[in-house]
């Protein structure tokens, strides 16, 4: 393990435990300052990737910007501006002038080359630990269509992020969400999909009926959502590539919502309301057969599977207020896991299996939080007038959610925050947006 990797791992460990005490400072320019939980981002340099021919110059510069934006967007990295660079990288294969990068305190250096041929683009990169004076891992290359050039940049940034942090990648992913227009008492909603960073927006439905809470399938090929197309809330499944949709077979005369896929991609768990009572059911997509999982006069909703598919976390007000419970995948006696002050809802199991994210209401404020799957180590990450509906990045380190502002002009936006509560920021969307669902990493 290189020194750089060890340093970044300690940053992450500190972030994860919200350590307020400073880490042991290292000698020289590699010092990482941590003061009251504020972490000094790691400085890196990324000179514009070298164009392999005249046709590649513009795309090479664009790809370099996206790589940098991905890394700096995590809050763990800080780019040293190109105008501060001493060395100029004009060839991907030239030896690295470590002294020049040390002189500007770049701890990591990313170099790359971009070749465009027709509608294909090929991107190569290398990562260097400047102060150890060696390359980190082997150079890699990715190729794809020029139309999908941003994905090539995300793949480069993912590889850099993973090598330096030891965490799983997440930049090459998408988000499906509800795009909102119109005033509060006449909100128009439609489904939209975009890259995780807000680029490449595409609308999947029109706004003629209310649509709510889309959820990706485990491979990202389909989306479950709730629509009022018939005048009543019903669950639909939409094929992302063809944008074709169909309603799921839920019993006549009932309302259904809050669907989520099992990790097998064939079973859906959802809430069904009949005679004013809401319980949780599972549905086999192929046979259309529904099975009741809870049977109580209380509200049971917002189910979410553990990543191994063996358990379901959900919310219920059987105790008198909304709280979180876990039950076996086939139903059965649930175990309550939330015991703090306030109401807990919208639990979502981390793709890593270690944490459950939730919405908490307490003293008139809303929070996004995480807890261990046994309910211990509860940590609130945000606070506002209205935060709700967390969704996990594919690596289980970052959470996206809906934040709605207060009052007559109130509107919804997407925000993200990492699981230590750091790096809270608004996600760029065209107009108001709510109910994000983060896709798995793309192939």
Partner 1 sequence: MKHLTRAMLVVSALALAACSQSERFDNDVALGGTAGADGAVVPGSANDPTSPLYFQSAVGDRVLFAVDQSTLSDEARATLNAQAQWLMTNSDYTAVIEGHADEQGTREYNLALGARRANAAREYLITQGVAASRLKTVTYGKERPIEICSTESCYAKNRRAVTVLAAGAIS
Q: Which residues bind partner 1 (CB under 8 A)?
A: 183-185, 187, 210, 212-213, 231-233, 255, 257-258, 271, 273, 275-278, 299, 301-302, 315, 317, 322, 345-346, 359, 361, 364, 385-386, 388-389, 404, 406-408, 410, 435
Minimum separation from the CB atom of position 25 to partner 1 (A): 43
Element (H, E) at 426: strand 425-426
Distance between CA atoms of 300 and 324, rounded to whole angstroms? 10
Give the alpha-carbon dihedral of 423, 427, 428, 431, to 10 degrees: -140
Please state the closest distance from residue 185 (CB atom) to partner 1, in A. 5
Nearest approach in angstroms of CB 348 to partner 1 is: 12
Q: How far is the CB of 257 from partner 1 (least distance, A)?
A: 5
The residue (of 95 and 407) whose beta carbon lies closer to partner 1 is: 407
CA 295-351-270 angle, to 5 degrees, is 25
Nearer to partner 1, 161 or 236 (CB): 236
Q: Using alpha carbons, select from 44, 353, 8 the residue that is nearest to residue 162.
A: 8
- Least separation, in Å, of the C-beta of 399 and partner 1? 15
Task: Specify the residue, 56 or 359, whose C-beta has the smaller distance to partner 1.
Answer: 359
Give the shortest CB-271-to-partner 1 separation in angstroms: 7
Nearer to partner 1, 73 or 389 (CB): 389
Q: Where are the alpha helices (DSSP H) in 77-224?
A: 98-103, 149-165
Residue nearer to partner 1 on the CB measure, 299 or 355:
299
CA separation for the pair 353, 311 (Å, rounded): 11
Residue count of the chain: 443
| DSSP structural state of residue 96 | P
The two three-digit tokens of residue 115, written as one number: 């070749």
Closest separation in Å from C-beta 48 to partner 1: 44
Give me the least distance between CB of 192 and partner 1, in Å please.
Answer: 17
Strand order in the sheet with 277-284: 255-261, 267-274, 277-284, 290-292
311-342 burial: b if 16+ Cβ within 10 Å, else e = bbbbbbbbeeebbbbbbebebeebeebbeeeb
Nearer to partner 1, 126 or 367 (CB): 367
Q: Which is nearer to partner 1, 188 or 422 (CB)?
A: 188
Helix, strand, or coil (residue 5): helix
Q: Which C-beta is closer to partner 1: that of 367 or that of 397?
A: 367
Cβ of residue 201: shortest distance to partner 1, in angstroms?
22
Residue 119 near residue 146, CB atoms below 8 Å: yes
- Written as six digits, the tokens of 433 are 């947006």
Cα 128 from chain centre? 27
Dist CA 115 CA 4 (whole Å): 30
Nearer to partner 1, 107 or 271 (CB): 271
Looking at the Cβ atoms of 158 and 404, the one nearer to partner 1 is: 404
Residue 45: other Cβ atoms inside 10 A: 26
The torsion of the CA quartet 85, 43, 422, 70, rounded to 10 degrees, works out to: 60
Taking the complex as a whole, the smallest distance from the CB of residue 31 to partner 1 amounts, in Å, to 43
Q: State the DSSP code for 428.
A: P
Least Cβ distance, residue 254 to partner 1 (angstroms): 10
Which phi and psi (to 5°) does residue 53 adopt?
-155, 175
Angle between helix 149-165 and 3-16 (nearest 10): 90
Please report how many Cα atoms fall inside a 13 Å half-sphere around the Cα of residue 340, on the Cβ side: 21
Closer Cβ to partner 1, 188 or 379, answer by number: 188
């Amino acid at each position: 393990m290189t020194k750089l990797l060890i340093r970044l791992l300690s940053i992450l460990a500190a972030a994860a435990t919200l350590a307020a005490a400073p880490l042991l400072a290292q000698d020289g320019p590699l010092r990482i300052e941590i003061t009251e939980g504020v972490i000094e981002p790691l400085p890196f340099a990324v000179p514009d990737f070298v164009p392999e021919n005249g046709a590649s110059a513009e795309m090479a510069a664009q790809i370099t910007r996206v790589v940098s934006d991905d890394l700096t967007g995590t809050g763990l990295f800080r780019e040293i501006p190109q105008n501060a660079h001493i060395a100029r990288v004009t060839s991907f294969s030239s030896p690295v002038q470590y002294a020049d990068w040390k002189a500007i305190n770049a701890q990591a250096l990313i170099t790359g080359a971009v070749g465009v041929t027709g509608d294909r683009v090929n991107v190569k990169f290398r990562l260097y630990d400047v102060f150890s004076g060696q390359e980190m891992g082997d150079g890699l290359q990715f190729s794809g269509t020029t139309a999908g050039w941003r994905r090539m940049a995300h793949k480069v940034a993912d590889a850099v992020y993973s090598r330096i942090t030891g965490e799983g990648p997440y930049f090459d992913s998408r988000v499906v969400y509800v795009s909102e227009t119109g005033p509060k008492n006449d909100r128009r909603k439609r489904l939209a999909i975009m890259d995780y960073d807000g680029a490449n927006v595409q609308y999947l439905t029109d706004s003629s009926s209310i649509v709510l809470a889309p959820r990706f399938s485990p491979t990202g090929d389909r989306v479950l959502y709730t629509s009022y197309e018939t005048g009543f809330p019903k669950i639909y499944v939409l094929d992302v590539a063809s944008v074709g949709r169909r309603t799921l077979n839920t019993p006549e005369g009932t309302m259904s919502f809050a669907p989520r896929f099992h990790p097998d991609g064939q079973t859906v768990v959802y809430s069904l309301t009949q005679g004013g009572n809401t319980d949780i059911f599972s549905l086999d997509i192929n046979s259309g057969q529904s099975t009741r999982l809870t049977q109580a006069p209380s509200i049971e909703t917002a189910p979410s599977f553990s990543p191994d598919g063996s358990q379901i976390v959900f919310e219920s007000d059987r105790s008198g207020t909304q709280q979180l419970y876990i039950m076996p995948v086939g139903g059965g006696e649930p175990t309550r896991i939330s015991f703090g002050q306030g109401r807990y809802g919208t639990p979502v199991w981390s793709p890593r299996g270690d944490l459950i994210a939730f919405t908490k209401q307490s003293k008139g404020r809303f929070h996004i939080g995480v807890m261990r799957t046994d309910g211990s180590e509860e940590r609130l990450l945000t606070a506002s007038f209205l935060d709700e509906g967390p969704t996990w990045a594919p690596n289980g380190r970052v959470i996206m959610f809906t934040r709605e502002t207060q009052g007559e002009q109130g509107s919804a936006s997407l925000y993200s925050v990492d699981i230590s509560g750091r790096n809270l920021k608004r996600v760029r969307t065209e107009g108001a947006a709510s109910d994000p669902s983060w896709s798995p990493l793309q192939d």
